[in-house]
Structure formats: C-alpha cells, structure tokens
Amino acid sequence: MIAFVLGTLALLLGLAAAGEGAASPPEAALASELLALEPGEEREAWVEAHSAQVTAELGRQVAAQALVLQRAAQYEPALAAFALAVRLGERSGDARSRILGLHGQGEVERERGRPQEALELLERGLAEAGLAGERASAARLSGSLGLARLQLGQYDEALQTFERQLAAFESLGDTKGVGQALSNLGIALGTLGRFGEAAQAFERSRASMEAAGYAPGVPRALNNLGRTYRELGNYAAALRALSQSLALKEAAGNRAELATTLKNIGEVYLLQGALQQGLDHFERSYAIAAELGQKTEMATALEDQGAALVELGRLEEARGALERALALAEEISAPEAILSITAELADALHRLGLRDQALALLERSLADGERSEDLPPLVPTRRQIAMLRLEAGDAAAALALSERAAEAARRFELRDELWRALLVAGQALLALGQPEGAEARLREAIAVVEDLRAQAVGAEADRAAFLISRAAPYRELLGLLADSGRSWEALSVAESARGRVLLDVLAGGHATIGGALDERERAEERRLEGRLLVASSDLRAQPRLDPQQAARLETRRAEARAALEDFRTRAYAAHPELEVYRGESRALTAEDARRQLADGRTAFLEYALGGRRAYLFVLGASRLGAPELAVHRLELDGAQLEALAADFRRRCAARDLDLAGPSARLYRALVAPAREALGRARRVVIVPDGRLWELPFQALRPERGRYLIEDLAISYAPSLSVLRDMRAPRRTVPAGAGLLALGNPALGHGAGRLTGSALMSEALTPLPEAETQVREIARLYAAASTKLRLGGEARESAVKAEAGRYRVLHFATHGVLDDRSPLYSELVLAAPKEGDGDDGLLEAREIMDLDLHADLAVLSACDTGRGEARAGEGLIGMAWAFFVAGCPATVASQWKVEAASAGALMVAFHRALRAGRTPAEALRQAALAQLARPGRGHPFHWAAFVAMGDAEREPGGP
C-alpha cells in the first residue's frame, strides 16, 4: 500500500480565514479585475499604472481569491495569483500579503507534487512571519512546511515541526489551529508506523474541528482516522469513518479532496478481498485526480489499481498501471511512494515469471530505502526479497530477511504484513529442517489472520472473500502436521479454513440489514435497488442487441450493481449492532466425528490442495465402530488435480466418449487411497477443495465398466464443521407444509437476450418439459400441502413471498451462470407484473436475503451447482446462497442438462425421496435408473446433479 502521508490534503486554514472575514467590496472587485488580466506583463503594467490603489487590503484580497482557485485545483492560475499577492505586498509594504502569497505558492507546489520547491517557498514565508511577529501565520506555515518535509522523507524533522506547531496554536488559544496541528501530527505518526498514537491524534483533531465549528476540517480528520484504522486492521471502524468523510465532502462539493477518500475506501475493500469493488473505487479516484492534475493522488490510485489487478490475475494490466505509478512517484520525488509502488510492481513481475527482474528491482529499492529511516514501506520489500531468496534455495537469507520484516511489522502494527512475513519465515524454517520453529511461526500467522478476519465488515457475501488471499499459512501448517503424522491436528487446521461464513451464520444467525436502516438509508437503498432493476429490465426487454448496445447496457447494470454493493457494505459498517449476528463456531472435535459416524456406514473424504502438495483425509468408522482418521499425501499436486478435474467435467458436459481413461485415472489419484474405508460404507460425504468442486465424483470408475455411484450414495459439503452445525436442531416450518414447485415460467418479451448463457437449453424458450416435470412431481405430494407456480404465476415476487412456508422447494426453470460474479447467477422466472418491483431474475444474492425453513431446495436447471471455489469458504454460488438463507440441503447441476433426461431424473428423485430416502440416496437411485436406460449410459445424462449440504437426512413434510 502507498505510504501513509501521501494523498492527505491539508488546505490552508489561515488562507481560508483570510477569505472568509468581512471584506471591503471595492478591494474585492478590484482584485477580481486584476486577476482577470493575463499573468505577467499585463498585471505588472496595471500595478505600475494604479500605484495609489495598491494597498495592503488589495494584496490580501488577491490571496483570498487565489485560495479559491487552489481549492478548485486550478493550480497554474492559483500559483500566478499567489505570486501576485507577494508582489502587491512588496509594493504596499504589507508583510501579511507577502506571507499569504508565499504560503499559498508553497501549498500549490506541494499539492501538485513538487515538495522541494514548496520547501523553499515555505521557509521564505516562515522567515517573513518571524520578522513581522505574525505568530499565527508562522504556526500555519509550520504545518505546510512539515508536510513538505514528509514528502521529502525528512520524517523526524517533520514530526518536530508539527509538535512545535501544536504548541504554538495551544499558546494562541486557536482551537481550529490545534485541530489542524493534531491532524498533521497524526499524519507524521502514521508515516512512522505509530498508528495507535496517530488514531488518538486524529480523534482529538476531529473533536477540535467540531468545537471550533470548522466544517471542512471534520471530513479531513475522519479521512485520516479511517486510513489509520485500516492500517490497524479495524476494517469496520475504517469504513465507518471514511464513509462519513466522503458524505461530508460530497455534501460540501469538495471535489478536490474526493480522490483521497475514494481511494482509501477502495483499500479497505481490497484488504477484505472485494477486489472489483476496490478496483472501481481506485478508477474513480484516478479519474478525479487526473482531471484536477493531482499527481500524488494519481500515483496512489494507480498503485492501488495495480494491486487489485494483480489479485484479479490481470497481470499485464497491473504491470502497466504500476509502471505509470512509479514514473509519477519519481517525477514528484516521493520516496515512500517509490518504495511502496516498487514492492507492488515486483509482485506483478514475480507472478509474470520474471523473478530475476523482480529481485533486482526490490534489492535496488531496499538499498535506496535503507539510506533513510526504517519505515513501514520497507516491510513488504524485505518480505518479498525473502520470498524470492527462498525460491532460489537460500533459506538462511530468507529467514533473516523475513524475521526482520516480521519484527518491523509488529513494531509498526502492520498486521496484514505481519502474517505474510511470518509465513515466509515458517517456510524458510521448514526448508532448514526446523519444524518446531516453523510451526510456531505459522500458528502465529494464522492467529493474526483470524484476528483480522474478526474485523471484516459487511454481509455474508462480503466476508466470504476474506481468506482467498490468506489461505497459505493454513495450507503450510496443515502439510507440516500431516507429514509428521499428526492427523487430527492437521484435519482441525484444514477445517479452520473452510466454510467460515456458513459457520458464522449457523452459529449466530443470518444478518439482514433492512431492519437496521433509518428512513434516509432505506430511501437510498430503494433508489439503488430501483436503478439496478431498471438496468436489468432494460437488458431483458431487448430481444436483439448489437455488441455495442449489449456492452453499454451491461456496463450500466455493472455500475448499478457496484453502487448497491458499496451502499450495503458501508451500511453494515455504519451499524455495528449487526455484528451480534456473527456467532462463535466450535472447532471440530473427535467427539463430533464420532457422532457423524454413528450409523457406521458413512465415510468422509476431505481434500486439501496446495500448489505443491495435495492431501486426502479419510474419516470412517473402524471395524470396532470407533472414529478412524487417515491422511494421505496424494501423488499428484493440487495444480495437476485441478486441471484433470476441470478437463473431466468438460468431457462429461460435452458427451465426450473418451471418458474411461480419465475417469479411472482420477479415481486412482483421488479415491483409491480411501478404498478400505469406502469398502465398509454405503454412503460417502465429500468435502472438495478448489476446482474439485467441479468434479462429478459419482462418474469416476473404481473398476472397468463400473461407476462409483453404483457402490455409494454421494453428497458434498463445505466442511465437516458446517455439516455438524447443519445437523443441529433448528427452526422449521409448521407441520403440513410440503412442496413449492415452479416450472416453465412465462418469459415475456426479450427473453432471447440471454441466449448463449441460458441453461436447460441453448435459448431461453418455453419449457414445456419442465411444466410436465413439475406436474408429475406434484402428484407425489399431498395436494393440500403442495403449491404449483406455472407459466405467468412462476414469478420472483411469489418466490419471495411464499418460499419461507415450505419444506421442499423445486425450481424447473432456466438458469444463468455468472462465473465472474457467482452471486449474480440467476434463476429465470416469469416476466414480472406491473408493481412487482423486480425483474423476474432471482439472483443468488437475493436468495441469501430470503428467510427459508426448507429442508431441501432442488434446482432443476443447469450449472446451478457451479460457482467460484473460494479459499476459506467453498463453492460460492446458488447452493451457498440457499445455505445462507437457511436451507441445509440443495440438489443442483454441474453442467447444461438435456431437458428430457433431467425431467426423468427429477421425477425419479422425488419418488425415491417420498419413499423415505435421503436426498443423497434418492439422487443415487434416480441416477442408477437413468444409467440403466438404453442410450442414457453416458454420465452426461445422469451425473450432472449433485446433492450438497446435509443430504443424509430425510426431508420432513407430507
């Protein structure tokens, strides 16, 4: 991240006061007339011709109007106007005009990234103030001088300057000045990594600004406070302060300071794993900064864009953004920025495979940085050099550098850097054959990550991304424990990195924000929901679009989505009472395992994939009935297994006839080590990892001519801990509630727009087979407890109003997978009626907001069992959304299914379910029935649907 001080805007309180007092109208008008002339000869000629009118008041009025130009970021005209104020002061003998002019010129030069020029002007101004006995002016000049010194890397001198400024304003009894001095002091403390002290300074600054009634100072203090809380890892407090700052700046029309706060908000999102939200804010920040010519802000926004693009895998774009950022930082001579940007650029180069270039860049940067003080930006530099040294086989050098980085991260309270440095130290100790030391470092790294995770803010979808980039210490510790034979400890670590948000929901309840909002917030949410509804409806209403029209409408919808997500995340930050919904989940114990194995016929397979290693945990009942755990290090690594799994799913979905070899190979690689435990089982619960979520294990072959589904009922779970908590007693619907089934929605005009993304068929056409399917299924349930929604009645509004009253939900509809934003994947329902307030597309994010009590949701559409496999959570998509909403079991599909075979399988599934089978066993029987039919033997016809969640319990209901 960028150095703490950069991007902090401190406008001149003294100059503001000069323009806010009672002014003489004649001099004000004369100043405007003079500034309307061209700078240089025209203005000088006017001064010579009107010497009698060149007064002290005229110089001060010119300075006040120059400040207006500065605030509007019109830097060249402002600079010329301040220079004119100096000239007028010289002619009139007014020291105040000269001081104001020099101060203003220095501030303009500092703001546009020329700190050395600023320093010279400000020192001249301070000397003038001293000679004139202008104590207040000298105090204000000290603040600007300190900020220029910070930009030049003169950190101790800057801190001392701000301490003197604070003492001067306190002696003057200037409350507003005290607030500004405290803000400057906080900036210096933050630059030096003393964030706890910085937060106290900014809190005091805000209080002083409020006491003085100085409105512009409050959002600046809040901005700095939010940035400090972000560095301390308190994301909720950071977002709260930054959101307040942004709202105040927008209300005041303070465009010159918006770029900073937008960027700071984006950095909170980036740290929480909300990469696209972060990137959106950085792009907005850069656009404003570029328009206003704010080079410092341009550099910081570009750096953060690069960091987000690296995490999104868009490495060449990231490299370009970071190289531009570095060029700007070098142009404005910002040493901290250069260090920080260099570290980010080296990360991009490393991921591009340019390790030698990355290392050379970092070592050059470290050599330059160590000529000055040991500052926060050097921490990631040392940590990255350590990582590259470790890759090159120099574990001793890696350990020394990473330990030094960790020590500095502790001192500066850089917790997100601390766990990263501890991870490298642990890896280096492992390479040096010191497992005990490695374990200690890795456990400390995990403790830091857990502490940071507790500070994450937002709804379940926001928090589900947190561990994506922080899973490495869990994987390393898991491998260390597994390789040393400590199987139960290794499983406990594996479980601690899975299904974390679902465990929060199961332990503490599902938080819905609606009840916490005040009327103003509810109105804003309705406005943003309406904006998204219009954007989605406009897309759906167009049956044919050329590529440019489609791109324009898609961009409009994406912007509406981003605005709504941003509002909701900030609303969670503004309402800390929602945190009570986050429960404390228990670690998985051997007693939990014993209970899950109580029937003696279930086995559990849990996979843990790393880049270099892959493990399989096999949990089953021993011959004596006691829990028996074995851990196997698989022969293929994680990357190889993921590639084979993705290829096999593609072959199944494409009806590829060449399946026997790949199927047998995957069985040998993934399942064969568990053969003994599976031999005693009738059912198996699989906890996949990474792209293994896409793998239809039921279609693997233990032997020639036989599939795994023929031996075992198979279901999938996010984690054993989630499964344990799903099976706890829970609130359910009243007796008598049965089936809610929707089928063949009337799509209305424009449905064909979704062709190409459509599920169940290649175009969004009517689904008569789905209607037949639903009617046949309904006959299996008691008529009094069954509700059918067909054609025009299969509307989104009906689902939202009625789904919470049924135990079994069945959707026979089209579906659309959004593989970039899986929680925007959709079940396509009937075109809405006027007044429904929806677009007929039930998105996964909307499913999460339902209050469900169902035992089972069946999604008889295609790709509804797919999504994004996220470290720390599992598969994020439709099934995950149903879990969050309160439904513990889901049947969904892994590819585009054929309507006829899907219909037959679904009817057979419900028939077995009504006969008392669990969802997993019912799905097995339905698949076997399909497998036995002529022409349906290929896995394409029967293996697409999977049972996810608590699929080993019979659904209740008539």
Query: Across residues 312-325, what is the average pLDDT?
Result: 96
Q: What is the pLDDT of residues 263-288, one digit of tens each?
A: 999 999 998 888 889 999 999 999 99
Q: Helix 135-151 crosses helix 95-111 at what angle (to 10 degrees)?
A: 20
Residue 734, number of CB atoms within 10 A of its CB: 8
Structure tokens at 846: 């909307």
**CB-CB contact of 471 with 872 (8 Å):** yes
Distance of CA 261 to the CA centre of its chain: 17
In one-letter notation, the amino acid at residue 476 is E
- For 749, residues 6+ apart whose C-beta sits below 8 A from its C-beta are 541, 543, 831
With a cut of 90, say whether residue 465 has pLDDT above it: no
Q: What is the Cβ-side half-sphere exposure of residue 667, based on CA atoms within 13 angstroms?
A: 19
User: What distance in Å separates the CA atoms of residue 61 and residue 41, rounded to the nearest whole number?
Assistant: 20
* Of 1, 559, 639, nearest in space to 310 by CA: 1
Q: Name residue, tokens 């209080």.
A: 207
Residue 916, number of CB atoms within 10 A of its CB: 9
In one-letter notation, the amino acid at residue 541 is A
**Radius of gyration for the chain, computed over Cα atoms and rounded to the nearest angstrom:** 32
With a cut of 60, say whether residue 728 has pLDDT above it: yes
Structure tokens at 194: 């003393």
Q: What is the pLDDT of residues 110-130, one digit of tens each?
A: 887 788 999 999 999 999 999
- For 242, residues 6+ apart whose C-beta sits below 8 A from its C-beta are 222, 223, 226, 227, 230, 261, 264, 265, 268
* Of 135, 38, 59, 134, nearest in space to 104 by CA: 59
Q: What is the pLDDT of residues 601-660, one digit of tens each?
A: 899 999 999 868 999 999 988 777 678 899 999 999 999 999 999 999 999 999 999 999
With a cut of 90, say whether residue 534 has pLDDT above it: no
Element (H, E) at 39: none
Q: What is the pLDDT of residues 647-670, one digit of tens each?
A: 999 999 999 999 999 999 999 999
With a cut of 80, say whether residue 507 has pLDDT above it: no
Structure tokens at 794: 């299969």
User: What distance in Å separates the CA atoms of residue 825 and residue 878, rounded to the nearest whole number?
Assistant: 7
Three-state SS sequence of 621-679:
ECCCCCEEEEEEECCCCHHHHHHHHHHHHHHHHCCCCCCHHHHHHHHHHHCHHHHHHHH
Query: Across residues 543-548, what is the average pLDDT?
Result: 65
Residue 637's φ and ψ, nearest 5 degrees, are -85, 175
Running DSSP on this structure, what letter comes out for residue 7? T
In one-letter notation, the amino acid at residue 261 is T
pTM, 2 dp: 0.80
pLDDT score, position 371: 53
Distance of CA 206 to the CA centre of its chain: 29
pLDDT score, position 761: 34
Q: What is the pLDDT of residues 370-383, one digit of tens each?
A: 655 567 888 999 99
Q: What is the pLDDT of residues 849-865, one digit of tens each?
A: 898 989 999 998 766 76
* Of 896, 895, 877, nearest in space to 948 by CA: 877
- For 182-194, give the DSSP string: HHHHHHHHHHTT-
Residue 706's φ and ψ, nearest 5 degrees, are -140, 140
User: What distance in Å separates the CA atoms of residue 879 and residue 949, rounded to the nearest whole number?
Assistant: 8
By 3-state DSSP, what share of the chain in percent is helix, strand and coil, each rounded to 5?
A: 65, 10, 30
- Going across the sheet that includes 683-687, the strands are 627-633, 614-621, 602-609, 683-687, 713-716, 945-949, 889-893, 856-859, 808-812, 739-745, 786-791
User: What distance in Å separates the CA atoms of residue 143 and residue 67, rounded to the nearest whole number?
Assistant: 17
**CB-CB contact of 509 with 581 (8 Å):** yes
List the single range of 392-396, 400-404, 492-496, 522-526 with lowest mean pLDDT. Answer: 522-526
User: What distance in Å separates the CA atoms of residue 882 and residue 535, rounded to the nearest whole number?
Assistant: 25
Binned at pLDDT 50, 70 and 90, residue 168 comes out as very high
List the single range of 151-165, 377-391, 867-881, 910-924 with lowest mean pLDDT. Answer: 867-881
Binned at pLDDT 50, 70 and 90, residue 760 comes out as very low
Q: What is the mean pLDDT of the chain?
A: 86
Structure tokens at 74: 């019109």
Q: What is the pLDDT of residues 781-838, one digit of tens each?
A: 988 889 999 988 999 999 999 999 999 999 998 888 777 778 888 888 988 887 777 8
